[in-house]
Amino acid sequence: MDKTPTSGIKFYITTPIYYVNASPHIGHAYTTIIADAVARFKRFKGDEVFFLTGTDEHGEKIKKAALAAGKNTQDFVDEVSLNFSRLWEKIGVRYDYFIRTTDASHRQAVQKAIKILADKGDIYKSTYHSLYCVPCEAFWTDTQVKDAGNLCPDCKRPVETIEEENYFFKLSQYEPWLKQYLKDNPGFVRPKIRHNEVMGFLDNNKLQDLCISRPKTRVGWGIDFPLDNNYIVYVWFDALLNYISALGFGGDEKKFKKWWPADIQFMAKDILRHHAIFWPIMLKALDLPMPKAIFAHGWWKIGEEKISKSKGNIVNPLDLIKDIGVDGMRYFLLREVTLGLDGNYNWTAVVNRVNSDLANDLGNLVYRTLNMAEKYEQGKVNPSHTGIPGIFKEIFESMQTKYIALMDDYDFSAALESIFAFTSVMNKYVEDTKPWNLAKEKKEEEIRNFLYALLEGIRIIAIYLAPVIPQTAASIMRQLGLPETFDFRDAVWAKYKSYSIKKEAPLFPRIET
Ligand code: ME8
């Protein structure tokens, strides 16, 4: 647990809002855990954080899912939305606000945004002709569909031809501005490969205006279009605005000004274009500042297939945590793959990662140290020397500098690696020191100093691990007999001069396959 903000820095962080046509899977958990780890990390630095997540509840796809479940649409979305918020609670996601696009305040914000754009002359009515994929809620050009063998380029299912009167947002008008903006701000779309992808797309395609309404007769589930009673708002236009409606845009201007622009917005690469093209243009048209960065991470796949509900290859986080625990799952997801790359999900990788890092390296270090403290010192460690052992110095200092910089850069995997490099040195220290021999020789002072160095090291790595595996960090603090409230200012050597420990069961039992 972190303390009250002290840095004077505000940090606003978002996840996508997830569709409620089905319950959450490991892919949704991944992005949300990423954002949670960043939020916790920033809080430990003393920043004031606003962490937003939520659910995307409108559109034809949702209506169809409710129908298929034999439920009233509102009841259905209430139920599925709850599956998301309950899962987040279960896996330690500490968000500040959970937005639902069926909230009245969100509806008002969306309607206000459309009125502002209409007053500016950025919205017009025209005939709309397109190829549309219902499951993906995506429109495609003739060429895109043709290139994909007359199927949806994303999910490879048949598309529908649509021709109707609709309202359009003048997206194309902002194309030169967007190109220049992306050129001037190469760190806006992260990682670099996604920046290049968006630039490539803009170089090879002319932006079309965005159709932002749907006739009520065809899609009856959405926000009323404020300019015409016969229409509702296109679900993506409605959804993207959640990032500002959640802050009070159009209602609570003070709160909105306090938090906008976002510092980082996370999503996977499937919705890169919506966030790197539509979203900045919508903000520009509304005269609002751009988010500082958007980060499109990779996909978890099984074999060559992206994990997704439409492919039917999902991994349910509730099942996974039964096998490896909440922190086992959080650790695996953030350690296994460098943020931005795709990850291959398989049971062998899960077991290896949890057993080798968490059970063997960390769990064993903590358990054997506390065991020795009980055995040799009856749990009370009062050293004569509190300095850092020479063998720790270099690796400890390198961990401290690397960890903060890597976490600030969202490189969780390398940040965790830097912690485990220190853990290995501590395990080696135990083997090299051979405390059992010291005990035989009755070198009590040496044993006390040796144990103290390990306990200090363990305490500091627990602080650094806390953004990713918070329950484990809290358990370590309890076992060290220390408060569960801390922040990064506590990660200094010899903050505590003695220990009075309370050993519990091992942190991570080995998973037997
Ligand atoms: O796209 N690997 O919602 P959605 C990694 N409602 N991340 C994955 C993943 C996978 N296999 N599968 C899903 C929507 N995700 C819209 C968003 S935002 C204004 C509207 C994660 O339920 C990842 O974050 O399809 C991806 O971008 C998101 O879930 C898509 O969730």
- The CATH code of the domain that includes 487 is 1.10.730.10
Nearest CA to ligand 1 atom 30: 18
Nearest CA to ligand 1 atom 21: 28
How many other CB atoms are there within 10 angstroms of residue 12's CB atom?
24
- 215 bridge partner residues: 231
Return phi, psi of residue 463, to 5°: -65, -45
- Ligand 1 pocket, residue 315 CB under 6 Å: no
Return phi, psi of residue 453, to 5°: -60, -40
For residue 268, report the distance from its CA to the centre of ligand 1, in Å.
6
Residue 437 lies in a domain: yes
The pLDDT of 410-438, averaged and rounded, is 97
- Ligand 1 pocket, residue 30 CB under 6 Å: yes
For residue 237, report the distance from its CA to the centre of ligand 1, in Å.
16
pLDDT at 439: 92
pLDDT at 129: 83
pLDDT at 452: 98
The verdict on whether omega for the bond into residue 291 sits within 30 degrees of 0, i.e. cis, is no
Domain containing 363 equals 347-500
- Ligand 1 pocket, residue 238 CB under 6 Å: no
How far is CA 417 from each of CA 357, 395, 413, 414, rounded to the nearest angstrom? 10, 12, 6, 5
- Ligand 1 pocket, residue 268 CB under 6 Å: yes
Residue 47 lies in a domain: no
Lowest mean pLDDT among 56-60, 67-71, 149-153, 218-222: 218-222
Return phi, psi of residue 296, to 5°: -100, 105
- In 3D space, the residue among 469, 483, 429, 471 whose CA is nearest the CA of residue 451 turns out to be 429
Lowest mean pLDDT among 127-141, 182-196, 335-349, 393-407: 127-141
pLDDT at 370: 98
The pLDDT of 296-322, averaged and rounded, is 95
Q: Answer whether 248's CB lies under 8 Å from 166's CB.
A: no
What is the 8-class DSSP label of residue 363? I
Nearest CA to ligand 1 atom 3: 18
For residue 433, report the distance from its CA to the centre of ligand 1, in Å.
50
pLDDT at 422: 98
Residue 295 lies in a domain: no
218 pLDDT band, cuts 50/70/90, is confident
> Is pLDDT of 309 > 80?
yes
Q: Which percentage of the chain shows pLDDT scores above 90?
A: 91
- Ligand 1 pocket, residue 19 CB under 6 Å: yes
Which numbered atom of ligand 1 lies nearest the CA of 239?
19
Residue 442 lies in a domain: yes
- Ligand 1 pocket, residue 140 CB under 6 Å: no
Residue 310 lies in a domain: no
- Ligand 1 pocket, residue 59 CB under 6 Å: no
Into how many domains does the chain fold? 1
> Is pLDDT of 8 > 80?
yes
Residue 272 lies in a domain: no
SS3 19: strand
299 pLDDT band, cuts 50/70/90, is very high
> Is pLDDT of 219 > 90?
no
For residue 16, report the distance from its CA to the centre of ligand 1, in Å.
7
- Ligand 1 pocket, residue 308 CB under 6 Å: yes
Residue 446 lies in a domain: yes
Q: Which percentage of the chain shows pLDDT scores above 70?
A: 100
pLDDT at 128: 84
The pLDDT of 67-91, averaged and rounded, is 97
For residue 110, report the distance from its CA to the centre of ligand 1, in Å.
21
Q: CA-to-CA distance for 65 and 63, rounded, in angstroms?
A: 5
Q: Which helix (H) or strand (E) holds 160?
A: strand 160-169
pLDDT at 162: 84
pLDDT in tens, 237-293: 999 999 999 999 999 999 999 999 999 999 999 999 999 999 999 999 999 999 999
Lowest mean pLDDT among 295-299, 308-312, 347-351: 308-312
- Ligand 1 pocket, residue 28 CB under 6 Å: yes
**Exposure on the CB side of residue 42, measured as CA atoms within 13 A:** 23
pLDDT in tens, 468-482: 999 999 999 999 999
Global pTM reads: 0.95
The dihedral through the CA atoms of 343, 345, 350, 351 has a sign that is: negative
pLDDT in tens, 10-25: 999 999 999 999 999 9
Nearest CA to ligand 1 atom 4: 18
Q: Answer whether 457's CB lies under 8 Å from 493's CB.
A: no
> Is pLDDT of 375 > 90?
yes
The pLDDT of 346-372, averaged and rounded, is 97
Residue 354 lies in a domain: yes
Q: What is the mean pLDDT of the chain?
A: 96
- Ligand 1 pocket, residue 234 CB under 6 Å: no
Q: Answer whether 68's CB lies under 8 Å from 303's CB.
A: no
